Amino acid sequence: MKEDILSDKLLNELEIYGVSRRDFLKYCATTAAILGISELEFTSGIAYALEKPTSGKPAVLWIEGQACAGCTIALTQVSYPPIASIILDKISVRYDHTIMAAAGHLAEKVYEDTVKQGGYILIVEGATPSADDRFHMGGGMPFRKRLEESARNSTAVLAVGACSAYGGIPRACPSKGIGVSEVLNKAKINKPVVNISTCPVHPDHLIGTILYVLVTGKVPELDSKGRPAMYFGEVSMHDNCRRRAHFDAGEFLKDWNDPKQKNWCLLEKGCKGPVSYIDCTVRRWNEGISFCLDCGGLCQACGEPVFYDKVTPLYTAESEISQKILAMREAGLLMKENS
């Protein structure tokens, strides 16, 4: 009888976590006895508290500042598990202006209610203009204000993509975009921020971090630049590059038309692999099909704080960073035995 007032959903979920129906009811009865309230009243009360606000799924707010929506598209790039199962089964996406059904005041109402309720994971895409708030208004308020108020009541903040992590390309623009950590520091808001940089965010990095937070209830270990250590900070792209043998042999690609040079080192074209501590070379992109270096493109260190103002010009070895890399090469610091 008592079980009737508990939804099957809640009980099933508790069982997934190793709590049987019997154990749960026993727990409720004991607690109720201690508190001196009716067992029935208490059981239904707990069930309500656990189920009503979140249905077992953690609430997620996805807000977009000065962005191109490339990171939103990267989110939908996940196939294992299919993105639909994440959005419908694992998390409760209250606000994401690219996918949500609501628009206008309906969308804003959900946003406000969720912020008021608190306890959600905040995902931020895009930079925040620091030159003038009016460079980005939305729903009638500056984006900076939206970021501050939604961060304040969140449990953790994921800054996805180069713009959100460190300002990225907008940092070089007249609007002077800055990253989430900088905005929160200025406003003296102390929340754990995970920088999942690269332009756009790597779908694996994003979904892996979300899964980590869901499973452990904590943010993952971070490297010195605030990025998940499981993906960033360990080995440079240069050290893990499949073109590495050609670097060691002094073979540098000059002509993209020459099949002999196809796999030669791209350093002299402007590749920034030696300063890029990201796992793209081993993980690759698009389910392993390819990535920047495999299509003859260059690594532009898009996951590093130096992107983009310190890595321009992109397609020659003349940028501030490329000069540094060439000096490292001169000093023998890029060779295998030293790296």
The footprint of other proteins on residues 119-148 (CB under 8 A) is: 127, 129, 132, 134-140, 143
| Tokens 């199962």, residue located | 85
Task: Count other C-beta atoms under 10 Å from residue 292's C-beta.
Answer: 20
Decide whether 215 or 295 has the Cβ nearer to other proteins: 295
Pick from 15, 315, 320, 331 the residue near other proteins by CB under 8 A. Answer: 315
Looking at beta carbons, which pairs linking 46-50 to residues 24 or more positions away fall under 8 Å?
47/5, 47/6, 47/7, 47/10, 50/10
Q: Is 60 left (phi over 0), alpha (psi -120 to 50) or beta?
A: beta
Is-catalytic flag, 173? no
Is-catalytic flag, 292? yes
Positions 194 through 213 that interact with other proteins (CB under 8 A): 199-200
Decide whether 224 or 257 has the Cβ nearer to other proteins: 257
Pick from 56, 149, 252, 310 the residue near other proteins by CB under 8 A. Answer: 56
What is the spatial distance between Cα 220 and Cα 2, in angstroms, rounded to a whole number? 40
Interface map 275-314 toward other proteins (x if CB under 8 A): ----------xxx-xxxxxxxxxx-x-------x---xxx
Is-catalytic flag, 202? no
**Segment contacting other proteins by CB under 8 A, of 30-38, 57-65, 226-234, 235-243:** 57-65
According to the binding rule CB under 8 A, does residue 164 interact with other proteins? no
Active-site residue identified among 28, 202, 241, 246: 241
Kindly state the helix (H) or strand (E) to which residue 48 belongs, with its residue range.
helix 39-51
Is-catalytic flag, 205? no
Task: Count other C-beta atoms under 10 Å from residue 320's C-beta.
Answer: 12
Work out how close the CB of 255 gets to other proteins at its nearest, in angstroms, rounded to a whole number. Answer: 5
According to the binding rule CB under 8 A, does residue 67 interact with other proteins? yes
User: Count residues contacting other proteins (CB under 8 A)?
Assistant: 92
Is-catalytic flag, 28? no
Q: Which residues contact 34 (CB under 8 A, 6 or more apart)?
A: none
Active-site residue identified among 28, 136, 163, 202: 163
Is-catalytic flag, 199? yes
Work out how close the CB of 296 gets to other proteins at its nearest, in angstroms, rounded to a whole number. Answer: 3
According to the binding rule CB under 8 A, does residue 63 interact with other proteins? no
| Cα atoms in the 13 Å half-sphere on the side-chain side of 32 | 16
Beta strand 92-96 with 193-196: parallel, antiparallel or unpaired? Answer: unpaired
Q: How many residues comprise the chain?
A: 339
Positions 227 through 256 that interact with other proteins (CB under 8 A): 254-256
Q: In which order are the strands placed within the sheet that holds 120-125?
A: 92-96, 59-64, 120-125, 154-160, 193-196
- Tokens for 158? 């994921």
State the first-to-last Cα distance of the chain, in angstroms, to the nearest integer. Answer: 68
According to the binding rule CB under 8 A, does residue 12 interact with other proteins? no
Positions 77 through 116 that interact with other proteins (CB under 8 A): 77-79, 82-84, 87-88, 92-104, 106-107, 109-110
Active-site residue identified among 136, 246, 271, 295: 271
Work out how close the CB of 338 gets to other proteins at its nearest, in angstroms, rounded to a whole number. Answer: 29
Active-site residue identified among 199, 202, 205, 246: 199
- Calculate ∠ Cα 14-215-218, nearest 5°: 120
What residues are labeled active site?
68, 71, 163, 199, 238, 241, 265, 271, 280, 292, 299, 302
